[in-house]
Amino acid sequence: MARSKRPHHRGGYAAQARAVRAAANADPATRCWRCGQTKAEHQQPWQAGHLHDGQAGGPLLAECRRCNASAGATYGNNLRRAFKPTRNW
């Protein structure tokens, strides 16, 4: 059974992400909005990262893979930490 896409990856997300990556790849002076480095400085491929992590349909900006993965992991870990069940025994 196929897994459904998360809300922030539905709709026009794929087209918007492609446009962000294409623009970043076309301009070597593009800087990652999180770390401020160019592609030549960080040696990572461009990804489209959420301006507001976890916001479905929000704006996307060019960021390096390391920053995008780190931000996603931090966001997910914080969500899991917030909903961690407490022990009542």
Q: What is the pTM of this model?
A: 0.77
pLDDT in tens, 40-87: 999 999 999 999 988 878 899 999 999 999 999 999 999 888 877 666
Report domain extents, the chain. 10-82
> Which residue bears the tokens 């479905």?
56
Q: How far is CA 89 from each of CA 5, 35, 50, 83, 86, rounded to the nearest angstrom? A: 38, 45, 40, 18, 9
